[in-house]
Chains A and B, each alone.
Chain A
Amino acid sequence: MAQTIAHDEHRVHGHAQHGIETLRPDDLRSARRLMWIWVDTGLAIFALMALMGVTMRAEQAGWISYGPDVFYSLMTLHGVGMITAMAVAAMGGIWYMMRLDGPLDERVAHWAYGFIVAGVIAVIVSIFPGKFGAAWTFLYPLPFVGATWAPWATGAFLTGVMLVSIGWSIWCVQMLGCVMKRYGGLRGATGWDYIFHNRAFTEAGKQPPSPQAFAAMVSAIDGLLTGAAGMVIGIALLVHWLDPSVRIDPLWAKNVTFFFGHAFANLTIYMAVSWVYVGVPRYAGRSYHTSQALAVAWWGTLFFVLLAYFHHLYMDFVQFQALQFIGEAASYLSALPTVVVTIFSCLMLVYRSKMRWTLGSIFIYTGLIGWVVGGIGALLDASIPFNNNLHNTLWVPAHFHTYLLGGVLLFILGFVFMMLEERVGAASSAAVRWIVGTLVFGGMGTFLLGFYVAGSAGVPRRYATEPTPGPHIASWATIGAIIMLVGMAVALIEALRMATSKPQGRLS
């Protein structure tokens, strides 16, 4: 059995998985168990947040009425909950893949998980019963002025987000340590010699980091910087909460808040894409290796993810003007590594291949489409003349819902079904694939289109009660969201069926 597992993992993960040959079956099972804890936690949080999101859209449609204070509390929880859900699931997946690539201490991962769960609990307490409702990327001095919630709720929320940041930072340190140890320090992990001394590198019989190791390295480095920013603004706000005479500069706070929020949200897809590197070659029956283009692309991502956040401050005309230019340029440039290397390579792998279209591969491939479409929406919004009309309209949730829901989540579901298909040794029936595909993608498209149409019409985001044509659009968007969730419920039933049926696949 042990050999079967090792052989199968080697086959599944395609690219040279040094260490997999020596990974003991118990360690492999333990790593899988840990991975499933993270992924299941992320998906469970997602499910709750999705139901919450539907009630918010129904409120905007005028179908139900629970008032603005409840709406903004739910909006706050929905925002921070969804980002955390996507991050936790993606972190679990990439941790597992790196575990196959080298040693990783599970206790460290458990500590990271513990901090994140503690943070989630603190955030939930701040909202139920604390009624905190300042939005998750609130802009100072908001939580402290005009609050309709108890002061302790502000402290609980800040503490919760900081605990999540600590857990996230622990994970980043572990990932960075893993890739550095595995590939010879930062120089090896970044593929420096592979790029600049390729001949000597190749002649020495060395291998560059796997594609998923690049995703881990960039997520870890950017994640540490993001986590540090989150801690800095968190501590500053906590100090102000304890002693209101300590003032914070609002423009500085806005920069740090968006640096943290934008990069954290953005990194979820760069973590989840590691599953695409594994899944697409497997389903297409073709191998995929690190190339120099891929290494350079990830260097670009490393920088552009950090610089693109300036587009959140386009409408702050007092911001140093050069930063506005950098914001637009970095936003455009951040698209290049994605569409020129990662997505292009995936399309190349799929083109005229023996692609097996199962639920797993359908989710992964559609996730690539969602990533591109969300990226187009983001690029238009990042163009300052358009941003002038789209900033803080529903166009903003339009594009980030597209790449979080239509990208990150679908990558996660694709990975989950890939593992389940491997377990049962068979794919879902064509009927199930059609039902899930029609409901999930049809409903999702309708739901997302509602945001785009309303955003282009100037309907503001974060309004409990929207001006026209908001409520009308919200009505059919809500129907779309419900259809999508019904499709996801069918997918969940199918996943449970596969998870509880007798293992027959290679891992049996």
Chain B
Amino acid sequence: MARGPLVLPLFLILAALAMAVMIGIALSTRASTLELSAVQGRAYALRRWWLTGLVVVFATLFAITIPSFPYLEASELSTARHIPVMAEQYAFPVPAVLPVNTPIVFDVTAKDVNHGFGIYDPENRILAQVQAMPNYVNHLAVEFKQRGKYTVRCLEFCGVGHAYMQAAFEVR
């Protein structure tokens, strides 16, 4: 799933909130001054709630992200169609055509150095990615729901031709 476009508004909202609070506190210095002792009691009470809230948020985030982890179980590996990918400076050998709505597992490794096997959908958004590393095979599960031209770009710096390391395939 291409989550990249979702993350920017989320980031901007959170960053704007944080900045608003901090700028508000900076502007509070224009108001009448309070002794630190008058601020501390309320601040420490607020901090307990702040800590509790953050722990709850992080624990919830951790729990809800786990089902979306891209790491595969052995059973998922056996039922899919496997496409071996041996990346090398500066090419990804991938089939020209792949089927739509079919579970596929890319068995990704590298011949020379580390590469990043990043699949971009027809709208040029990152759909999925995995590292291509010598001596190891990473299994990346993808099911293409949309027909069209997909691009593979290298997402790990691999040398002077890094920016030109790409391939394309058609899903139909």
Nearest to A144 among chain B residues (CB) is B113
Nearest to B8 among chain A residues (CB) is A456
CB neighbours (8 Å) of B137 from chain A are 318
Given A146-B112, A250-B133, A373-B15, residue A368 in contact with residue B50 (CB < 8 A): no
CB neighbours (8 Å) of A287 from chain B are 36
Given A142-B159, A389-B7, residue A250 in contact with residue B134 (CB < 8 A): yes
Determine whether the beta carbon of A368 is less than 8 Å from that of B133.
no
Determine whether the beta carbon of A453 is less than 8 Å from that of B68.
no
Min CB–CB distance A122 → chain B (angstroms): 22
**Stretch among A111-119, A173-181, A460-468, A491-499 lining the B interface:** A460-468
Nearest to A253 among chain B residues (CB) is B114
Determine whether the beta carbon of B8 is less than 8 Å from that of A376.
no
Given A348-B40, A369-B22, A384-B65, residue A458 in contact with residue B7 (CB < 8 A): no
Chain A, interface residues (CB within 8 Å), range? 35 or more
Given A315-B116, A316-B138, A318-B138, residue A467 in contact with residue B124 (CB < 8 A): yes
Which residue from B19, B69, B139 sits with its C-beta under 8 Å from A384? B69
**Stretch among A349-357, A416-424, A500-508 lining the B interface:** A349-357
Determine whether the beta carbon of A460 is less than 8 Å from that of B153.
yes
Determine whether the beta carbon of B157 is less than 8 Å from that of A135.
yes
Determine whether the beta carbon of B157 is less than 8 Å from that of A457.
no
Determine whether the beta carbon of A317 is less than 8 Å from that of B3.
no
Determine whether the beta carbon of A141 is less than 8 Å from that of B162.
no
Which residue from B4, B28, B72 sits with its C-beta under 8 Å from A352? B28
A376 to B62, CA, bound (A): 15
CB neighbours (8 Å) of B116 from chain A are 315, 391-392, 460
A483 to B133, CA, bound (A): 41
Q: Is A44 on the interface with B (CB-CB < 8 A)?
A: no
Chain B, interface residues (CB within 8 Å), range? 35 or more
CB neighbours (8 Å) of B139 from chain A are 317
Determine whether the beta carbon of B22 is less than 8 Å from that of A142.
no
CB neighbours (8 Å) of B21 from chain A are 347
Min CB–CB distance A281 → chain B (angstroms): 10
Return the CB mask of B143-164 against A: 1 if under 8 Å, else 0: 0000000000111111111111
Min CB–CB distance B149 → chain A (angstroms): 14
Determine whether the beta carbon of B22 is less than 8 Å from that of A368.
yes
Nearest to A143 among chain B residues (CB) is B113
Given A318-B136, A376-B15, A466-B163, residue A389 in contact with residue B112 (CB < 8 A): no
CB neighbours (8 Å) of B133 from chain A are 250-251, 254, 316, 318
Chain A residues engaging chain B, CB cutoff 8 angstroms? 68-69, 72, 133-135, 138-139, 141-142, 145-148, 249-251, 254, 286-287, 293, 315-318, 321, 324-325, 328-329, 332-333, 335-336, 339-340, 344, 347-355, 357, 365, 368-369, 372-373, 376-377, 380, 383-386, 388-393, 395, 452-453, 455-458, 460, 462-468
A-B contact pairs, 14 of them (CB 8 A): A68-B161, A139-B156, A148-B159, A315-B129, A324-B71, A339-B50, A348-B40, A350-B29, A351-B29, A389-B129, A390-B7, A392-B156, A457-B4, A460-B116
10 additional A-B pairs beyond A335-B54, A458-B4, beta carbons within 8 Å, are A142-B113, A317-B138, A332-B61, A336-B54, A348-B39, A355-B29, A385-B68, A389-B2, A389-B7, A453-B8
